[in-house]
Amino acid sequence: MAIQRPKGTQDLLPGVVEKWQYLEEQIRKICREYGYEEIRTPMFEATELFQRGVGETTDIVNKEMYTFLDKGDRSMTLRPEGTASVCRAYVENKLYGGPQPVKLYYTGPMFRYERPQSGRFRQFHQFGVEVLGADKPIVDAEVITLVWDLYNRLGLKGLEVHVNSVGCPTCRAEHKIKLQEFLAPRREHLCKDCQERYEKNPLRILDCKNPTCQELTQGAPTTLDTLCEDCGQHFKELQELLSAAEVVYKVDPRLVRGLDYYRKTAFEVLVEDIGAQSAICGGGRYDGLVQEVGGPQTPGIGFAMGIERVLAALNLSGGAPDVETKDYLMLVALGERAQSEGFAIVSRLRKKGLPVSIDLLGRSLKAQLKAADRTKANYAAILGQEELEKGIIILRNLTLGEQEEIALKDLEEYVMRKYREDVKA
């Protein structure tokens, strides 16, 4: 029996991987322009980091973590998200001691044991941004604008930016009481998960996908109804700044994110038509998280987007530009001596930066020329026993179908000149 890849994972083959590279390039470019620096943290962390950071009552921690004991009996978890790790790194490396704010971004695989379906994987990839050490609404506006700007540069269509404020622990406590009062008479009709959420984290009931729960929570008090003055002002300023930056957004009082660390701003970007999993980005402010993982009180805000879902949205909006791996020259060598001479030429041309290939299978002239055609090479340079003896090589222009003989010693200079001219044109 052939071994198969684990459920919910993907092999990214040539042809698809170029789309990923394109998106990754756009991500790096926009991060440079906005002044965000890359951080790389480990793929696994102490389980406690996510228990404390993401929260004990979340689905991620309760149901979805890849947790294992290592050989030293320590409980480790494959990271289900990046924010907790970035905060841990901020504390552990004392980044709070340097200039603030610290503006970071990351890309890489995340792991959640979820039921795989279209757009939902067990190993998926995120691009995320975190800003630590700044609490003003302008920071929230900057990160949301970055997402908006990236998606518009990519040409994504049908975007919806939803923003909400989930308040701070003070106003949330008041909201919790009001929400529990509202839900009390409906409690026994809620789904099993929501019955549990009722005591610990009733806010999450607003986010339940169960149709009965959705109906039962119609008209429930939202966090916007109980925002304290500080949170209300923050949310108002954020909206003014988003409008100033011409971000098209909508206030969604029912937007409750599935992670416990959010305070004040929460947001999501949705795209119509990519299927059940329409959230291509989610984020928010987490002013208590750095302290939660053992650091000084530090405000933070960020987002993460699912690369797979952004690519699905990109496909629907016309797709990433096609990038193909293309040889400029194919060296067609016939016979052993020609092959070793050809290999030496190819090695020298590669050092000069020319995209060039040589046959690796010892194929016939016809087969090698066919391969050159397939890679859409501009030229084929044909070297056989006879050409070697005469000190020449045949250079065939594969676009025009013309060929000429040139001295073997002149080949490299000649081809490099043509290449430079073509690249410039």
Tokens representing residue 90 in the block: 């901020």
Distance between start and end Cα atoms, the chain: 53
Cβ–Cβ under 8 Å, residues 46 and 52: no
The H or E element that residue 110 is part of is strand 102-111
**252 interacts with ligand HAM by CB under 6 A:** no
**Among residues 22, 36, 50, 303, which is the contact residue for ligand HAM, using CB under 6 A?**
303
**133 interacts with ligand HAM by CB under 6 A:** no
Cβ–Cβ under 8 Å, residues 90 and 64: no
Q: Which is nearer to ligand HAM, 260 or 327 (CB)?
A: 260
Cβ–Cβ under 8 Å, residues 70 and 42: no
**284 interacts with ligand HAM by CB under 6 A:** yes
Q: Which is nearer to ligand HAM, 104 or 247 (CB)?
A: 104
Cβ–Cβ under 8 Å, residues 207 and 199: no
**Among residues 306, 328, 354, 359, which is the contact residue for ligand HAM, using CB under 6 A?**
306
Tokens representing residue 204 in the block: 């999450």
- The CB-nearest residue to ligand HAM is 306
Q: How far is the CB of 300 from ligand HAM (least distance, A)?
A: 8
Tokens representing residue 88 in the block: 């841990």
For strand 102-111 and strand 159-165, is the pairing parallel, antiparallel, or unpaired?
unpaired
Q: Which is nearer to ligand HAM, 130 or 387 (CB)?
A: 130
**114 interacts with ligand HAM by CB under 6 A:** yes
Q: How far is the CB of 15 from ligand HAM (least distance, A)?
A: 21
**53 interacts with ligand HAM by CB under 6 A:** no
Q: What does the alpha-carbon distance between residue 270 and residue 277 come to, in Å, rounded to a whole number?
A: 9
Q: Which is nearer to ligand HAM, 101 or 342 (CB)?
A: 101
**Among residues 202, 282, 295, 342, which is the contact residue for ligand HAM, using CB under 6 A?**
282
Cβ–Cβ under 8 Å, residues 147 and 309: no
**289 interacts with ligand HAM by CB under 6 A:** no
**Among residues 19, 302, 383, 411, which is the contact residue for ligand HAM, using CB under 6 A?**
302
**264 interacts with ligand HAM by CB under 6 A:** no
Q: How far is the CB of 116 from ligand HAM (least distance, A)?
A: 8
Q: How far is the CB of 93 from ligand HAM (least distance, A)?
A: 18
**312 interacts with ligand HAM by CB under 6 A:** no
Cβ–Cβ under 8 Å, residues 83 and 39: no
Q: What does the alpha-carbon distance between residue 83 and residue 81 come to, in Å, rounded to a whole number?
A: 6
Q: Running DSSP on this structure, what letter comes out for residue 58?
A: S
**Among residues 305, 313, 334, 411, which is the contact residue for ligand HAM, using CB under 6 A?**
305
**Among residues 124, 151, 249, 379, which is the contact residue for ligand HAM, using CB under 6 A?**
124
Q: Residue 326: CB partners within 8 Å, gap ≥ 6?
A: 355, 375, 376, 377
Distances (CA, A) of 359 to 308, 328, 369, 378: 35, 14, 10, 16
Write each residue from 62 to 91 as x if it is in contact with ligand HAM (CB under 6 A), else as -, in one continuous string: -------------------xxx--------
**396 interacts with ligand HAM by CB under 6 A:** no
**128 interacts with ligand HAM by CB under 6 A:** yes
Tokens representing residue 339 in the block: 């092959």
**288 interacts with ligand HAM by CB under 6 A:** no
Q: Which is nearer to ligand HAM, 118 or 152 (CB)?
A: 118
What sign has the CA pseudo-torsion 377, 380, 381, 384? positive
Q: Which one, of 304, 298, 270, lies nearest residue 284 by Cα? A: 304
* Residues near ligand HAM (CB under 6 A): 81-83, 112, 114, 120-121, 124, 126, 128, 130, 258-259, 279-284, 286, 302-306, 308-309
